[in-house]
Amino acid sequence: MRKRNSLKYLSVMTWLTVPLLLSGCGSALMDPSGPIGQGLKSLIITAFGLMLIVVIPVIVMTILFAWKYRGTNLAAKYTPNWEHSNVIELFVWAIPCVIILFLGILTWQTSHTYDPHKPIASEDETMTIDAISLDWKWLFIYPEQGIATVNELAMPVNTPVHFRVTSGTVMNSFMIPNLGSQIYAMAGMNNDVYLEGSEIGTFRGRSTHYSGEGFSEMLFDAHVTSQADFQAWVDKVKQSPKTMMFPADYDKLAQPSIGAPVQYFSQVSPDFYGDLIRSYKSGHGGPQSHGEHNQAQEPSMPMSAQAAE
């Protein structure tokens, strides 16, 4: 009796605890705010539903078989010589093969539709932002506006943005989960991704590739604003007395720091991003002290620079 009561209390506690545990399972991937994010959400849900076609029948049949052939069921048919069923073989092999075929076709189509390097079709002109990962912060260059920021990003709503992504240190990964795809940032290499925000709001961006001690604080806010608010933000950045010239200002900023504050730079070098890429191709990427830090922390860094050449 005591054992039965214990099991009863355990069952009640489980049902009371599960909703509390699941309350923290919110996911930016399941709450997208752009066409790329919405497409990826649809792909995840569709693939999950297709896989449930296999999982749910297996769970149901396991329970039914256990109930039907339990020791106390004397009405169950006794077939000690049974060893094969063509019908069961057909279901066991045919259904998974059909699901794999559909998943393969779906993955092929969506991989090309939501290719991170594919421009987003829109009536608005595509905007360019350069994203550069450092230890342990993000530097954003706005070549069209002539400004730069650290750990803060702004973009007009419903405007496609072409992010040119590279790294001034070890390999990182650039991602704004609510907006969609992630893309890797590698030293001396030019990568890119197209994203768009379809609703006004502030979304958290991050690095999704471990890069050392300050990785967990390598976060930034991405503000999707109206066109008027974006212009006001640009005007605010242009009031900053700081400049971001390559290589002098960049070399100072590139020194490792954890929990770097938001910074604004009212002027940038005319071709800052191109100068940074070319500095690695010429074998002089980054300040000497920064390069020594990376070699000690990440042995693969020189290999990345050599691969860029």
Q: Judge if 152 and 194 occupy the same domain.
A: yes
Q: Judge if 90 and 132 occupy the same domain.
A: no
Is 70 domain-assigned? no
Check residue 52 and give left, alpha or beta (phi > 0: left; psi -120 to 50: alpha). alpha
Q: Judge if 97 and 200 occupy the same domain.
A: no
Q: Judge if 46 and 172 occupy the same domain.
A: no
For the record, the structure tokens of 150 come out as 């650290």
Is 9 domain-assigned? no
pLDDT score of 252? 93
Q: Judge if 136 and 242 occupy the same domain.
A: yes
Show the domain range for 37: 30-65+85-114
Nearest-CA neighbor of 163 among 130, 119, 210?
A: 130
Per-residue b or e along 62-84, where b marks 16 or more CB atoms closer than 10 Å to that residue's CB: eeeeeeeeeeeeeeeeeeeeeee
The pLDDT tens digits for 278-291 are 998 777 665 443 44
Q: Judge if 56 and 204 occupy the same domain.
A: no
Specify the 3-state DSSP secondary structure of 243.
Answer: strand
> What CATH code is carried by the domain that includes residue 229?
2.60.40.420
Q: Judge if 52 and 169 occupy the same domain.
A: no
Q: Judge if 172 and 55 occupy the same domain.
A: no
Is 17 domain-assigned? no
Looking at the chain, how many residues does it have? 309
Q: Judge if 299 and 216 occupy the same domain.
A: yes
Mean pLDDT of 263-285: 88
Structural domains in the chain (count): 2
More confident residue, 2 or 84: 84
pLDDT score of 47? 85
Is 14 domain-assigned? no
Measure Cα distances from 230 to 112, 153, 222, 225 in Å.
31, 10, 12, 6
Mean pLDDT of 4-8: 52
Mean predicted lDDT score pLDDT of the chain: 83
pLDDT at 276 over 90: yes
Is 3 domain-assigned? no
Q: Judge if 141 and 217 occupy the same domain.
A: yes
Is 4 domain-assigned? no
The pLDDT tens digits for 97-151 are 888 898 889 889 888 888 899 999 888 899 999 999 999 999 999 999 999 999 9
290 within 8 A of 169, measured Cβ to Cβ: yes
Is 73 domain-assigned? no
Q: Judge if 136 and 107 occupy the same domain.
A: no
pLDDT at 296 over 50: no
Contacts of 271 (CB under 8 A, 6+ apart): 143
Q: Judge if 35 and 99 occupy the same domain.
A: yes
pLDDT score of 299? 39
CA distance linking residue 18 with residue 172, whole number of Å: 35
195 within 8 A of 34, measured Cβ to Cβ: yes
Residue 82 corresponds to which amino acid? W
Is 2 domain-assigned? no
pLDDT at 2 over 80: no
301 within 8 A of 169, measured Cβ to Cβ: yes
For the record, the structure tokens of 1 come out as 């009796």
